[in-house]
Amino acid sequence: MMRILGLDYGSKTVGVAVSDPLGLTAQAVETIWRKQENKLRRTLARICELIEEYQAELLVVGYPKNMNNTIGERAQKSLEFKEMLEKKTGLPVVMWDERLTSVEANRTLMEAGVRRENRKQYMDELAAVFILQGYLDSLAMSKDEHDGEN
């Protein structure tokens, strides 16, 4: 089984999550911060270190489409980030619709009693967890459907 990294790409941060070796669950790893949006050299270098550390073979990047399914500025930036990742890492990158993940992440932190001023530090890696978990769940579901066909 392969390990997968989930990435929540924001204007100042990239939240990172990793799948367990069986590809069933996603765990938060860290949030990579950067000073300016387009200064990505160190961010990409850190992602490469994490790929190495976790022996990841696939990247899943949150794809923030607008609710009406159109591609806005953030989604465009995520696509550019995807291209950079593919060039830099040589790994396949899957774009995963993340329209509701930050809402979910915020609600989870609220329910866990994390104070609002502390939420930001967990928000991005938790969003990455939701992105990756959504992708893993979809893999498990399509596997179940195929198993049922035999």
The CATH number assigned to the domain holding 56 equals 3.30.420.140
Q: Could you give the 3-state DSSP secondary structure of residue 149? A: helix
For residue 87, the SS3 value is: helix
SS3 (DSSP) at 94: strand
What is the residue range of 69's domain? Answer: 3-145
Q: What is the pLDDT along the chain (150 residues), one digit of tens a residue?
A: 789 999 999 889 999 999 999 989 999 999 999 988 788 999 999 999 999 999 999 999 999 887 787 888 888 999 999 999 999 999 999 999 876 666 677 787 788 887 877 777 788 888 899 899 999 988 888 877 776 654
Please give the DSSP secondary-structure letter assigned to residue 71.
Answer: -
Asked if residue 108 is part of any domain, the answer here is: yes
Instruction: Give the Cα separation of 141 and 138 in Å (integer).
Output: 5
Question: How many domains is the chain partitioned into structurally?
Answer: 1
Q: Is residue 79 part of a domain?
A: yes
Instruction: Tell me, yes or no, whether 150 lies in a domain.
Output: no
Is residue 68 in some structural domain? yes
pLDDT at 100 (0 to 100): 64
Give the pairing type, strands 26-33 and 3-9.
unpaired
DSSP strand pairing (56-63 vs 26-33): unpaired
Residue 84 inside a domain? The answer is yes
- Here the tokens at position 129 are 């967890």
25 located within any domain: yes
